Amino acid sequence: MARTKKAKPSYIYAIIGISLVLFLLGTLGWLVLDGRTLTRAFKENVQVAVILHDNTRDEMLQKLSAILEQQPFVKETRVITKEEAAEEFFASGGEDFTELLDFNPLYSEILLNLDAKYVNEKSLLEIEAFIMQSNIVREVSYPTAVVTQMNDNFRKIGLILGVIALLLFVIVIILIDNTVRLAMFSNRFLIKTMQMVGATRWFITRPFDKRAIINGFISGIIAVIGLWAVIKFAENRLPDLKVLHEPASIVMLMASMVIVGILISLLSTHRSVLKYLKMRVDDLY
């Protein structure tokens, strides 16, 4: 009984240690999720301009817009007539061409905001070829250099974050495993004593496994509460961060933190118990 009481503080330290490393892993996961949302927002802000021939009738313009709006690669469409194009040109500080010309030299156009997964060089070329099949389309324009540079940068950032996440996950597993093994070290004599009086392996491991599941769950919950507090603090400081959050993804991240805490705690504890069961009594000292 005395040994069990002495073991309790070790469990507390193990819970705190596991909570800290899970919190660190969860924070990185949150940053990755927000970065992915931000990447998608940047891509969906890229506009493709479908410029029409000068003699295109308004009904043809609206018909083409309706067709494009139904395509899977289109997220949003906006129609700009010749008159609206002129108004925007003047509002942006452009010179009044009506003083020199007796006609409007601007063209009607349809601005497309694409789904993020289609904002890449290959997809844009295919989209351009598809749109150019219409005989009322004069030109399809989009910022090629911006798209190429943006995708290259996001790819590099994604690779770096992926490597960091993988390394951190390995470190988390090692830290949690060592923390649990250290907590179990104080129970080594209890484990061996139970074995010597004839207890079966299953009977010995069961209470420790149950305790490991509880410890992992508590650690995960503490880490989730910490992450939630950090997210709320960040949102209060930077309200724009709320736009980046996807509730379903955040919930999945937090659930994963709890599951990882339980699994690693359980596996490490079970492995430690089996290790002490295989050791000789003299080796325990």
User: Is residue 158 scored above 60 in pLDDT?
Assistant: yes
Instruction: Decide if 106 contacts 89 (C-beta within 8 A).
Output: yes
The encoded tokens of residue 7 equal: 């073991």
Q: Work out the pLDDT band at 186, boundaries 50, 70, 90.
A: low
The encoded tokens of residue 252 equal: 């999945």
- What is the pLDDT at residue 1? 41
Q: What is the pLDDT of residues 205-243, one digit of tens each?
A: 788 888 889 988 999 999 999 999 998 888 888 777 777
- State the Cα–Cα distance between residues 213 and 18, nearest whole angstrom: 12
User: Is residue 2 scored above 50 in pLDDT?
Assistant: no
**CA 30 → CA 79, 169, 228, distances in Å?**
37, 14, 10
- State the Cα–Cα distance between residues 189 and 4, nearest whole angstrom: 10
Beta bridge partners of 110: 50, 79
- 278 versus 225: the higher-pLDDT residue is 225
- State the Cα–Cα distance between residues 262 and 227, nearest whole angstrom: 17
- What is the pLDDT at residue 277? 66
Q: What is the pLDDT of residues 54-72, one digit of tens each?
A: 877 888 888 998 999 899 9
Which domains are assigned to the chain? 2-41+150-284 (no CATH), 47-142 (3.30.70.3040)
The encoded tokens of residue 37 equal: 């949302």
Nearest one of 181, 184, 176, 165 to 261, comparing CA atoms: 176
What's the CA dihedral at 245, 173, 163, 237 to 10 degrees?
30
Q: Work out the pLDDT band at 157, boundaries 50, 70, 90.
A: confident
The encoded tokens of residue 251 equal: 């919930």
**pTM for the full predicted model:** 0.66
Beta bridge partners of 52: 137
From first CA to last CA, the distance across the chain in angstroms is 19
- State the Cα–Cα distance between residues 38 and 237, nearest whole angstrom: 18
- What is the pLDDT at residue 190? 67
Q: What is the pLDDT of residues 80-137, one digit of tens each?
A: 877 777 677 667 665 665 555 666 667 788 899 999 889 988 899 999 999 999 888 8
Q: What is the mean pLDDT of the chain?
A: 80
